[in-house]
Amino acid sequence: MSFGDSLRKAMDSEIIEPPKNTYKVRLYDASAFTSKAGDEYAKVTLEIIDGDLKGSRFEHFMGFKNEIAKQINGEALATYGVDLTKVNELSDLDDQLDELVKAGVTADVGVSYNDKGFMNVRVAGSRRPDKSDIPANGYVAGMDEAREQQAEFSQAAQRFGDDAPF
């Protein structure tokens, strides 16, 4: 994205603090960076794609100063779709976040506020529109067991016919 594009994109959006709720969102923009103070952060701008606030945007801001923050925010990034095994440098995280935005990743997030009024974002799951949930080989874990259970149920139903005792 050119500098001009990023400037226009920033001017085109109004960032809100949405009410406590769950939201279906699209990753609109994302980056990983080092602050002037030398601290490392990631910021994901989320666009609400459903409901009364559709089209509104808010930010999921993540810092990595301490071990608890690293754990919480690392889990959030992994849930968005970041492959943490391939993150060695902050630039690796930035590249992956950019790729998730370009892929059109959507997510389910919960927004809450702590007793000091700071917004917390919890990522419940995400989905890439360019990838299917069905494996290429057609195999889904547990499918054989499910087919066996269906066959047993079908056989039992045939034994009772239309006069089931319940």
Which pLDDT tens digit goes with each residue over 58-74? 999 999 999 999 999 99
Q: Per the domain annotation, does 28 fall within a domain?
A: yes
| 117: containing domain | 3-129
Q: Is 89 a domain residue?
A: yes
Which residues lie below 8 Å from residue 70, measured CB to CB, with a gap of 6+? 64
pLDDT in tens, 38-56: 999 999 999 999 999 999 9
**Residue 81: inside a domain:** yes
Look up the CATH number of the domain holding residue 85. 2.40.50
Q: Is residue 73 part of a domain?
A: yes
pLDDT tens-place string over residues 94-137? 999 999 999 999 999 999 999 999 999 999 999 999 776 555 55
Residue 28 in this model has a pLDDT that exceeds 70: yes
Residue with tokens 């089209």: 55
Q: Is residue 141 part of a domain?
A: no
Q: Is 30 among the domain residues? A: yes
The set of residues, in sequence order, having a beta carbon less than 8 Å from that of 124 and lying 6+ positions away, is 22, 79, 107, 108, 109, 110
Number of domains forming the structure of the chain:
1
Residue 88 located in a structural domain: yes
